[in-house]
A and B are shown apart, each in its own frame.
Chain A
């Protein structure tokens, strides 16, 4: 049985406020408004469905397609389907329209540039007699550049279709959860730069991390993924280009600011994420009352000891303790050359310690492993301890068949999912 619009309230709403498009798309509902005598038992269902489609064709319509040059989350729209951050003059354009406009803009820009060059040529011919002292000073040049930029910015703001940057609320995909927002991802350029810094320039991971404001783990991951991508290119495999392009346009991104370019001389690189995250230690979760004499200097180190004996202070537990050390030396007032020298010494010491530890590990492995080479296969003997099987003989470190204990891997409820995959 076709659905029916019951109350007069809804009839008036459907006829007046709902868009003509909705009515046109589903003419049956309009036709049903007259059928007051319907015996349909579950009008609730039709009402819900109607409301669903009303929302989908009303406020929800804006979320169907990506917003050009912007993210498009539910949090950026109010419940009537208006973009909160947009000025009242703003209207949504299709990608084709935007492309056309941009092409026109580029044309106009090129024309203006050509005009400017011609003008400059003319002026140059006229002003050849001028002495070099009369020419524009670099400061003036910079000021003029800045003025031009400001002008362009003002023009952009006057543009009725100018869309300001997203605020934090606009980046909330879930409007009710204000503790989660879509955070920027690394842009393609920044990824490439990180990869180049590490592989070509031989920067250590922690150095690249500090330089780009990207956490240590992420630097490693970026290099690994980029390496794989390059291998794919070398093999001539097809990349998921259209997907990558579309997804990156939908996400907020951390841009790469190339400081070697003259226009970026005074801009700082944008840090991607906090790099010195201190993990909350379980021992510090409790509230602790420690009576301390006011005359005593109670430092972070003492506080750590109060919580747990082996708890180190925050300076030692953060991922970049070398930054703290460097900052301390600045506070001491050491000259730059000396600070640099000390940093190099520290770095070398650290590297040497790492190398020594690795060598010791290798030596230990070689000592405990005894390899007997054969014609085709090698016999490898490894030292094991019987105690590793544990008290009940079922420890994971135990080796070999243990008499009296059947394997349980065929038993019901035994989980076979691997817990780790070696890289």
Chain B
């Protein structure tokens, strides 16, 4: 059996749908197709071979041939002012209508239809996940689907070849996304050895000396300095104010369902107050945002019924609200982000604190047919990709000529 060619080969530079250094190198070394020494068939073959290595490399050729469409969707942006002021007859007006001088006509940009050759592939779920920057390669996106980490409209979808319909929302497990796009966890054997030695030394020091004698390490000092802003007493005070706010809200007239939520929230706060010594900024900030959300809900529901319009105003006085907000904005900016969301955590499968993978910025773009919310790792497939004057929405690294040749390859016998 013939040996399978390498996925990333320096001998034959193929561009693949991933964020690897080989792909970046191949994109940088890409040239226009050779039209002088090759026959037309050779040109088409080479173009097809190169483009298929990038677009839907996991799809069998026969399947792709069936998916290929020679009609390519396009749009033209219209100016509503122009449409209102002209009825189109001015374009047909000639000498008979009194037009004497040939006016310089507005030439719109060319629509790059040929760059859209592979647009049906962009509809696939795995490709869309890759385009939404949720995975570092299409193969990885495929694996996410197969492993059941992807939902479409809230239902698990295990088929990477599912064709998204306009309006479909797909969502990937956030931890998997962080793993796929984050820097790799790496520790060399020496690093591991050093760490083990350190740990042993630390254990020795703890057993030999009392903890009060031990000098605080630099890391501990740093942690102290970042934590110095919200002292435990402050945290407790804040929790108590939050608690009193909740009680005020409960006293005011609200719907039973909301009340239930508030009660459960109050219990959580109570628990937090009990544990205030161990309270870190992150637990507080989530509680705070929860409360904000609930309050907004109550305000919205009560504003519908004008009878109890005094309820939202009685919740918290605006000054107090402002104070609360200011105090917690600072916390959110620094402590929450660094300490809660992005802290050092050895149990995570990626390098912590999280940072993007190497070479990710060179590949970070989101095409316009997707609307992505990165916070929850969800995206909506708005519509099929289209060509418009001067712009094609299918991300392809190849020059116009190559795409045209590939299009022509699939056009034959059709």
Q: Do A and B bind each other?
A: yes
Task: Tell me the A residues contacting B by CB distance below 8 Å.
Answer: 44-45, 48-49, 52, 55-56, 59-60, 63-67, 71-74, 79, 173-177, 179-183, 185-186, 191, 199-200, 215, 217-218, 220-222, 224-226, 228-230, 232-234, 236, 238-248, 250-251, 273-274, 276-280, 282, 285, 292-295, 297-301, 303, 313-315, 318, 320, 323-328, 330-331, 417-423
Instruction: Given A64-B359, A176-B399, A423-B167, check contact A250 B75 (CB 8 Å).
Output: no
Residues of B within 8 A of A423 (CB): 153-154, 167-169
* Most chain A beta carbons < 10 A, residue from B21, B96, B358: B21
Q: How far is the CA of A217 from the CA of B166 in the complex (A)?
A: 9
Taking a contact as CB atoms under 8 Å apart, the answer to whether A234 and B364 are in contact is no
Q: How far is the CA of A198 from the CA of B172 in the complex (A)?
A: 26
Q: How far is the CA of A282 from the CA of B81 in the complex (A)?
A: 25
A135 to chain B, nearest CB (A): 30
Taking a contact as CB atoms under 8 Å apart, the answer to whether B362 and A173 are in contact is yes
Which of B84, B167, B366 lies in contact with A217, CB distance below 8 A? B167
Taking a contact as CB atoms under 8 Å apart, the answer to whether B76 and A177 are in contact is no
A245 to chain B, nearest CB (A): 7
Taking a contact as CB atoms under 8 Å apart, the answer to whether B27 and A175 are in contact is yes
Extra contacts, 8 of them, besides A222-B373, A225-B380 (Cβ < 8 A), are A66-B356, A72-B362, A74-B27, A191-B373, A222-B371, A243-B178, A248-B374, A280-B76
- Stretch from B222-230, B286-294, B314-322 at the A interface: B286-294
A37 to chain B, nearest CB (A): 25
What 1/0 mask marks residues of chain B from 376 to 411 whose CB sits below 8 Å from any chain A CB? 111110110010101111111111100000000000
Residues of B within 8 A of A418 (CB): 157, 159, 162
Which of B11, B87, B367, B382 lies in contact with A221, CB distance below 8 A? B382
26 A-B pairs (CB sep. < 8 Å): A60-B21, A60-B25, A60-B28, A73-B362, A73-B365, A174-B395, A175-B28, A180-B396, A185-B372, A225-B378, A230-B293, A240-B177, A242-B354, A243-B354, A247-B374, A250-B356, A251-B364, A277-B77, A277-B78, A297-B89, A314-B83, A318-B83, A325-B84, A417-B163, A418-B162, A423-B167
Which of A48, A59, A74, A240 lies in contact with B10, CB distance below 8 A? A48
Say which size band chain B's interface belongs to: 35 or more
Residues of A within 8 A of B341 (CB): 238-239, 241-242
* Most chain B beta carbons < 10 A, residue from A66, A177, A179, A239: A179
Taking a contact as CB atoms under 8 Å apart, the answer to whether A314 and B21 are in contact is no
Taking a contact as CB atoms under 8 Å apart, the answer to whether B374 and A243 are in contact is yes
Task: Tell me the B residues contacting A by CB distance below 8 Å.
Answer: 10-11, 21-22, 24-25, 27-32, 71, 73-81, 83-85, 87-89, 92, 94-97, 112, 115, 133, 152-155, 157, 159, 161-163, 165-169, 174, 177-178, 181-182, 286, 289-290, 293-294, 300, 337, 341-342, 353-356, 358-368, 371-380, 382-383, 386, 388, 390-400
Residues of A within 8 A of B159 (CB): 417-418
Closest B residue to A273 by beta carbon equals: B368
A22 to chain B, nearest CB (A): 15
Give the top 10 A-B pairs by smallest Cβ distance, nearest first: A294-B96, A300-B88, A327-B84, A244-B374, A182-B365, A221-B380, A274-B77, A225-B373, A241-B341, A174-B397
Which of A236, A239, A419 lies in contact with B174, CB distance below 8 A? A239
Residues of B within 8 A of A221 (CB): 169, 371, 380, 382
Taking a contact as CB atoms under 8 Å apart, the answer to whether A241 and B365 are in contact is no
Q: How far is the CA of A56 from the CA of B358 in the complex (A)?
A: 12
Closest B residue to A95 by beta carbon equals: B355
A11 to chain B, nearest CB (A): 21
A202 to chain B, nearest CB (A): 10
Taking a contact as CB atoms under 8 Å apart, the answer to whether B71 and A282 are in contact is yes
Q: How far is the CA of A49 from the CA of B154 in the complex (A)?
A: 46
A40 to chain B, nearest CB (A): 16
Q: How far is the CA of A67 from the CA of B89 in the complex (A)?
A: 51
Taking a contact as CB atoms under 8 Å apart, the answer to whether A179 and B157 are in contact is no
Taking a contact as CB atoms under 8 Å apart, the answer to whether B337 and A224 are in contact is no
Q: How far is the CA of A280 from the CA of B24 in the complex (A)?
A: 35
Residues of A within 8 A of B77 (CB): 274, 276-278
Q: How far is the CA of A60 from the CA of B26 in the complex (A)?
A: 11
Which of A56, A177, A239, A323 lies in contact with B399, CB distance below 8 A? A177
Instruction: Given A250-B356, A294-B97, check contact A299 B79 (CB 8 Å).
Output: no
Taking a contact as CB atoms under 8 Å apart, the answer to whether B75 and A279 are in contact is yes
A306 to chain B, nearest CB (A): 11
Taking a contact as CB atoms under 8 Å apart, the answer to whether B372 and A174 are in contact is no
Which of B95, B182, B383 lies in contact with A243, CB distance below 8 A? B182
B63 to chain A, nearest CB (A): 10
Q: How far is the CA of A294 from the CA of B21 in the complex (A)?
A: 62
Taking a contact as CB atoms under 8 Å apart, the answer to whether A65 and B21 are in contact is no
Residues of B within 8 A of A313 (CB): 88
Residues of B within 8 A of A293 (CB): 96
B212 to chain A, nearest CB (A): 34
Taking a contact as CB atoms under 8 Å apart, the answer to whether A422 and B153 are in contact is yes
Q: How far is the CA of A59 from the CA of B395 in the complex (A)?
A: 23
Q: How far is the CA of A270 from the CA of B398 in the complex (A)?
A: 31
Residues of B within 8 A of A186 (CB): 371
Taking a contact as CB atoms under 8 Å apart, the answer to whether A56 and B174 are in contact is no
